[in-house]
Structures are given as C-alpha cells and as structure tokens.
Structure 1
Amino acid sequence: MAERTIVIVGMTGSIGTQALEVIEKIKTFQIIAGTYHTNAELAQKLAKKYNVSELICTAEGYEELEGFLEREKPDVTLVCIPGFVSLPITLKAIETSRRVLLASKEALVCGGWLVRQMKEKTSCELIPLDSEHSAVMQLYEPSVEKLLLTSSGGALRDWKLEELDRAKPSDVLKHPVWKMGKRITIDSATMVNKGFEVLEACELFQLRASQIEVLIHKEGLVHAAVFLRDGTIKMHLGFPDMRVPIAYGLTYPERLYQQRSWPDLLEAQLKFERVDRDRYPAFYLAYEIEKDYAKRTAYNAADEVCVDAFLKGRIKFTDIARIIERVIGKIEGNVRDLSDLKDVDGASRRIAEEVIEWLSCTS
C-alpha cells in the first residue's frame, strides 16, 4: 500500500495516541498534521517521536484546522475529539478527505442527517472507530434484522444501587475493561455512552433503535453481534484493544496490523445480562429521543455539562441522569441546519447549568 497522508484531530487524546502507535507499526501513512487543545508539551513530544509535520492548536477555535483541511485535502482524517464541536469538523473532514475515521460519537448523535447529506455529496468513505460499530461493519450483510451492542457496565456495575449516591470521580474513573478519557469513562458508568452508540448505529446502518439491543458483557470479548433473518447470529470476538479497530479503519479493506494474540476460547466467558433501568436510567433516554435531533443534541450537551460538574464535585453521580432528563424535557422544536443545532446546544448547556445551580441551592 502506497504511503497516504493523514490528519489526526485530537492527537493527544487516548484514541489519538493509540492511532500514532498503530501508524508507526504499519508504516503506510505520512502524518501531515495533528491537533491539540491545551496539552502543548505532549503534542510536541508526540510530533517529534512520530514525525508529525505540523501541529495545530485548537484552544481558541478550529478555523486553522478547517483551512488546513481545505488546502491539503488529506487522504485520511481521523476525528477523535469529544463533544459537539466534533460535528462541524466531521462535516469539513468529509468534504475534504477521501476517508474519515470517526471516533467522535457526538457528530452522529447530534447531526447524523447532516453527516449523511455531506457524505452523499462526496466520494468520501466514513468508517466508525468505536469497537462496537467497527465490529458491526465487519459482520454486516443485507439480511441483518437486528444488532447487539455489548457494554461493560462501567466502573460501578457491581455497586449496590443505594451506594451510587456516594460514588466519587476517583471511583467512576476506574474502568474495569477499557483505558479511556475521563468523559467517556464516566459516560460508560452512566451508560450514556451506550445510548450514544445506539443512536450512532441507527445513523451508520440505517436501522431503528428498536432493532438495536444492548446487553452487559463484563468480560469485554464480544463487541457486537448481528442477527440474520434466517436465524443465524454472527458475533465479533477479540480482546478489548482500541488499536485493532483503529488499524482496521486505517487499512480497510486490508488487514495490515499484526497482533497475534487471541482470546483462549476454552477460558472465554460469554455471559450477558440485561441493562437495569434503575441503575442506568440515562441510557434508556436514547431510545425515547431517537427521531428528535434537538433532544439528541440536548442529551449530549447536558451530559457534557454534567460530567464536568461531577468531576468538579458540584453534583452527585446520580444527579447526572436526572439533570439530563430535565434538560431534554425543556428542549422542543425542529432543527434544520448546523446553526439550529448550535443554538440548541447552547440553550441546553444554559439549562443544565441552571438546574445544577438549583440543585446546589436546595441540597
């Protein structure tokens, strides 16, 4: 495979650093740019180690990055930044790149129809990097009737329900399976992250939320399964290692990444559990807002605000789901474009902050 150009949006994050490791190993890409937000020291270190041609700081906005993408038109753009801001960057990446690797769930959660519209205007390939959606992509065929996405259940999965109120950030950040950033680790514990993934799967595979089942699978070996109309179930198994779906996305349809290590099937435990509504109320909200992009944007915005507030000790862990539900309930109306979504995002954040302030005054 000839060397191709790649831009990594969010190079200093968990996905970005693992992507650098994979690229170094498969040696088929020239990294023409990487972005960072505030961690300049790490960015400089990574740029030197992995021969990144240009660093772009996004702390004050993404205009420089958008201009770079427009000018350079990279073969591949990897988008792995958290939050609503990933949506406009994803749209620009699809417009200017031959392939976009998407690790930012929020782009599809908030603006899935905009992403699909932009993709239809171009010849760009859109490949998901979530381990679950990558697994579905590898299993998918036209006769799929429904999907299974698995979940670890997060750091508090074995806590008693009455103990969740006292969970501290240090407790929630101890993920039992994956090593990830702070927000996604907390979202794993509330299973908001899995709610995002249900909505993401709806967009990627053109299915209804009712066709997407989620089960707790603590061992983390089965990432997804597809149910075919003839009664066949195909499962994707492998160790929980994000470098594998990253490599698959980078080199698809080839598999150039080598890691000759497989789960011992004699020892593998393939156990599944239902998702407890009392333990994970925020997860089930995703099914209720499937067709409402305004409420989906509110779902994400409220979660972003709540995760930050929880990390700062302003709210309890169990407040996160309550606040998200309240914010969603206050957002109404149709959204027509990116500008409308930005307005909803801003309004949702303000409402979330108001609810948090109210809680602090009443507690």
Structure 2
Amino acid sequence: MTPTPAVLSVPARPVSDPCGPGYISSLTVADAGRPRRLVLLGATGSIGVSTLKVAAEHPESYRIVGLAGAVNVTLLAEQAAAFRPPVLAVLTGERAAALARLLPAGYRPDILVGPAGYAAMAAMAEADLVVSAIVGAAGLLPTLAAVAAGKIVALANKESLVLAGDLIRTAAAGSGAVILPVDSEHNALFQALGGAALPDLPLVERLVLTASGGPFRATSRAGLEAVTPAMALNHPNWSMGPKISVDSATLMNKGLEVIEACRLYGLPVAQVDVVVHPQSIVHSLVQLHDGSLLAHLGPPDMRVAIAYCLGYPRRLSLSVPRVDLVKLASLTFEAPREEDFPCLGLARQALGSGASHTVALNAANEVAVDLFLKERLAFMDIPAAIAAALDAHSGETLADADAVMDLDVRVRREVADWARAR
C-alpha cells in the first residue's frame, strides 16, 4: 500500500521575513494499493546509495523507474542492473555511451543526457515520488521540474531551497506537489512537529538544529589554518560525499540548513537556532511557547530520514543500529564557535539580505570548496571567499530559474577570479 501524489496547503498568514510562508501546512496522502514508483536523482552519491538500500528492504512497496548519476557510470550500471529501471540519466553523451556498454545483455533502458535529461526524468509521468539528491546548484532545475509536475519530492538537495525558495513555493502551490525533507535535521523537525498534523506555527517559539561540530569542533583557530582536505573529509559521525563533508567542517552545511529551515517552515531567522551536539543522536528540536522541547533521537544513519520520506505517511521498518541510551550514557550540547567558523554567520547574513544573496552565498561556497579540495585555497579561505562575494553583491530581483542560474554563473566566475588574485 503506497501513497499517491498529495495535496499541499501553503499557509496564508504573513510573516516578517524574506522567506515567506512555509511549504508544509496540511498534508494528506491516501494509499493507492500499488508499489510507489521512484525516480532517484543522484543515485551514486551517499544519499542515493542509502535510498536504494531502503527500497531493497521493502521490494514489495517500491519500483525504481529512473536513476540518474553524473559521473560514476560503473556504480550506476550496477544499480541499474539490480533494479532495472526503464530510464537512466547521466551528465554527458560520452558517459551515456560508456554506461550503455556496461549494462547487461538484453537490458536496454532509455538513457537521457545532461540537465535537460535530469529534468525530463524528474517530471516523467511514470513517477510518483522523486528523491532529489544531486549535490549543489545542479540539483535546482530537476527539483523544480519535479515540483512543477506535482510530484512528491523527497528533498535532500538543500541548495534548491537556498537558491530558489520562492520559485519552488510558487510552483508547489500551483501543482499540488509536496516537499518532504530528507536532511536529517529538517526531517527531525517534521517528525517533531507532527508530520501531517502540523500544529499552527505560532505555537513554535524556536527551531533548534543540531550540529555535530564536524572534525574540528575542538581545533584551535591556529589549527584551522593548517587544515588539509584529507583532514576535512574525515567526519567523526557521518559518511558523506566530499562537498558536504567540507561544508560540515566549516559549519556552512549548518548555515545552509538554517536557510532551508526558514524556507520550509516560514519562520524568521531569529527563531532558528543552532547547537553543537557531538554525539549526533538528537537530530533537531522544536521549542513550543509553553516551554516544551520536542526532540527527535535516532542513530546517525541517513536511512532513517530517507525511509520516513519514502514511506510517508506510513513508517517503514528498518534494519539500522538501535540507540542504546545506557551505553551512550550522556548527551551534550554547546554553542557553536561562530568567530572561528564564520560560515554560519555568513549564511544568516545572506538570508537577511535577500533571496539573491543566498544564491551568491551558495555559488561562492561551491567554488571555494572545490578549490580547497584541489588544494588551491586554504581551509580558512573558504569563508573569506564567501564574505568577499557577499560584500560585492548588491542584490538583484530573480524572476525565474534562468535568472537564478545566471547569477550563480556570474558569482562563480567572480570567486574564481578572486582566488586567482590571492
């Protein structure tokens, strides 16, 4: 038994924040009596691999109808051979040819190419639910395509909301699409708020996002100056791709999640806090106006959040490690060191400055992280590059996705020039 595409009600109440009203108000999903048909964008990344593990645990409930991967055609071919979707997508024609050669004899799916191919897959009629797990700004256009087509969108690509929150909200309101948050923190908030029975947001005093603190939680400012890519990729709790691992190390990942939380729930940035929680067991908390704190606890395994979205409104059984509170013994919390990790404050600054500033923030961060991984920028040059991009940006009106992507390209070029001049 599986849900059909659902109905999204966007709250009409005004809010004094550039985020506007949130996406999730009331949501009802009826069982349709057939396997839910999934499209997975970003199949070869860590979220994609975990999504397929969840689907494999419940083969009677899910049918994979589309898999997209940008670079790793070997893994994509293995996934395709296991699940036999009728449609695949890759980034280039060369990779499409390589993928076709790797597929088993007798299995000949359609292979779509490039951003247009990803968008076509996301919107195809055969899909009920689209898991958007492409990393970075590249995930925006296929996410928008899925939303415009009225899909249930399990959103792991936080950059879509950072870049184009208003555009996605408008498209969702027009199409009846539903956005279910895959990020562990936002999924935890969704569960703590009651899922389909979300209370009136005026009852919410604040949302509290937890951060592991990354690999450098206890590293001195002097030590941060000497951080290498290998050190930044060594996250203590989570297994993630390189870009997200670096974002976690700089706390930019948490900054992007603050923006995402504001745009999902329509709350002003002043009502979204961040605390460092090294154990990564409490994934987020909601504080209500009577002083109550509602927390979501679970193992640091993304399959928990993924399964909640794939099964919603049902809760799937899952073979993940259980949290043993006695062995754990204690849960600790501390304030983030924002002076030493300025990316969190830069994200708040961008959100308060306007929609185009969050585009500039994200573009600058993606370029700076890429240059750091290539050892062409130092670790602490990442926030410096972002600050320079925000200082240079005077604000723009972004009427559509083309305007968003045009600004994204221009800021990327400016940050690359800034880096070369260092």
TM-score, normalised with respect to structure 1: 0.96
Of all paired residues, the percent bearing the same amino acid is 36
Query: Which residue is 1:271 aligned to?
Result: 332
Which secondary structure state, in structure 2, belongs to the residue aligned with residue 109 of structure 1? Answer: helix
What pairs up with 1:120-139 in 2 under 5 angstroms?
120-139=173-192
Displacement after TM superposition at 1:97 (Å): 4.3
Q: Is 1:40–2:79 an aligned residue pair?
A: no
Query: Which residue is 1:302 aligned to?
Result: 364
* Unmatched tracts of structure 1, length 5 or more: none
Query: Which residue is 1:15 aligned to?
Result: 47
Query: Which residue is 2:134 aligned to?
Result: 81
Cα RMSD for the two superposed structures: 1.4
Query: Which residue is 2:390 aligned to?
Result: 328
Whole-angstrom CA distance in 1 between matches of 2:218 and 2:298? 23
Query: Which residue is 1:118 aligned to?
Result: 171
Whole-angstrom CA distance in 2 between matches of 1:339 and 1:53? 30
Asked if 2 retains the 8 angstrom alpha-carbon contact of 1:74 and 1:97, the reply is no
Query: Which residue is 2:58 aligned to?
Result: 26
Which secondary structure state, in structure 2, belongs to the residue aligned with residue 275 of structure 1? Answer: coil
Asked if 2 retains the 8 angstrom alpha-carbon contact of 1:244 and 1:257, the reply is no
Which secondary structure state, in structure 2, belongs to the residue aligned with residue 289 of structure 1? Answer: helix
Asked if 2 retains the 8 angstrom alpha-carbon contact of 1:95 and 1:118, the reply is yes
Structure 1 counterpart of 2:225, from 165, 170, 175: 165
Q: Is 1:93–2:171 an aligned residue pair?
A: no
Which secondary structure state, in structure 1, belongs to the residue aligned with residue 136 of structure 2? Answer: coil
Displacement after TM superposition at 1:261 (Å): 4.4
Displacement after TM superposition at 1:222 (Å): 0.4
Displacement after TM superposition at 1:339 (Å): 2.0
Partner letter of residue 79 of structure 2?
L
* Unmatched tracts of structure 2, length 5 or more: 2-33, 93-112, 194-198
Q: Is 1:342–2:405 an aligned residue pair?
A: yes
Whole-angstrom CA distance in 2 between matches of 1:274 and 1:68? 42
Partner letter of residue 197 of structure 1?
E
Whole-angstrom CA distance in 1 between matches of 2:226 and 2:318? 43
Partner letter of residue 336 of structure 2?
V
Which secondary structure state, in structure 2, belongs to the residue aligned with residue 166 of structure 1? Answer: coil
Asked if 2 retains the 8 angstrom alpha-carbon contact of 1:76 and 1:97, the reply is no
Displacement after TM superposition at 1:288 (Å): 1.2
Displacement after TM superposition at 1:73 (Å): 4.5
What pairs up with 1:163-312 in 2 under 5 angstroms?
163-259=223-319, 261-266=321-326, 267-291=328-352, 292-312=354-374
Partner letter of residue 35 of structure 1?
A
Whole-angstrom CA distance in 2 between matches of 1:99 and 1:152? 29
Partner letter of residue 251 of structure 1?
G
Partner letter of residue 196 of structure 1?
L
Asked if 2 retains the 8 angstrom alpha-carbon contact of 1:74 and 1:96, the reply is no
CA-to-aligned-CA distance 1:185-215 (integer Å, 9 cap, x gap): 0000001110000000001111111101101
Cα 1:344–1:121 change in 2 (3 A) is same
Asked if 2 retains the 8 angstrom alpha-carbon contact of 1:95 and 1:119, the reply is yes
Asked if 1 retains the 8 angstrom alpha-carbon contact of 2:150 and 2:172, the reply is no
Whole-angstrom CA distance in 1 between matches of 2:410 and 2:355? 14
Which secondary structure state, in structure 1, belongs to the residue aligned with residue 322 of structure 2? Answer: coil
CA-to-aligned-CA distance 1:236-263 (integer Å, 9 cap, x gap): 1111000010000001111123337432
Displacement after TM superposition at 1:136 (Å): 0.2
CA-to-aligned-CA distance 1:304-328 (integer Å, 9 cap, x gap): 1011100111010010001110011
CA-to-aligned-CA distance 1:253-308 (integer Å, 9 cap, x gap): 11123337432223342111111122211111111121411110011101110111
Query: Which residue is 1:151 aligned to?
Result: 211
Q: Is 1:62–2:115 an aligned residue pair?
A: yes
Cα 1:350–1:257 change in 2 (3 A) is same
Cα 1:46–1:196 change in 2 (3 A) is same
Whole-angstrom CA distance in 2 between matches of 1:41 and 1:55? 13
Whole-angstrom CA distance in 2 between matches of 1:196 and 1:333? 19
Please say which of residues 279-288 and 108-117 is displaced more in the overlay.
279-288
Partner letter of residue 142 of structure 2?
I
TM-score, normalised with respect to structure 2: 0.83
Displacement after TM superposition at 1:35 (Å): 0.5
Aligned length, in residue pairs = 359
Whole-angstrom CA distance in 2 between matches of 1:333 and 1:162? 34
Partner letter of residue 23 of structure 1?
A
Cα 1:230–1:251 change in 2 (3 A) is same
